[in-house]
Structure 1
Amino acid sequence: MTEVEAVTPKQVAPGEASLHESIAGTLASQGDWRRAYEHLRVALDLARAEPSIPEQLRREVDRLRRERAQAREESLRDALTAVYNRRYLDRRLEDLLSDAHKPLAVALVDIDLFKNVNDTFGHVVGDQVLRRVATLLREGLPSHGFCARYGGEEFMLVLPAVPPDTAVRIAELARARVEDHPWSALCQGLSVTISVGLAYESGEAVANRGQVLEADDLLYAAKHAGRNRVAYRDRTGDQVVEYCP
Structure 2
Amino acid sequence: MRKNIVAGNWKMNMTLQDGQALVSEIVNMVQDEATGSDVEVVIAPPFPLLPIVGRLLPEGGRIHLGAQNCHQKESGAFTGEVSAKLLASVGAEYVILGHSERRQYFGEDDELLSQKLKAALAAGLRPIFCVGESLETREREETFNFIASQLKNGLFHLSNEEFERVVIAYEPIWAIGTGKTATSQQAQEVHAFIREQIARAYDAEAALNTTILYGGSANAQNARELFSQPDVDGGLIGGASLKSRDFTDIIKSF
Same topology, TM > 0.5: no
Query: When the two structures are superposed, what TM-score results if normalisation uses the length of structure 1?
Result: 0.25
Bigger Rg, structure 1 or 2: 1
Query: When the two structures are superposed, what TM-score results if normalisation uses the length of structure 2?
Result: 0.25
Query: Which protein is richer in helix relative to its size?
Result: 1
For CA contacts below 8 A with separation 6 or more, give which structure has more relative contact order: 2
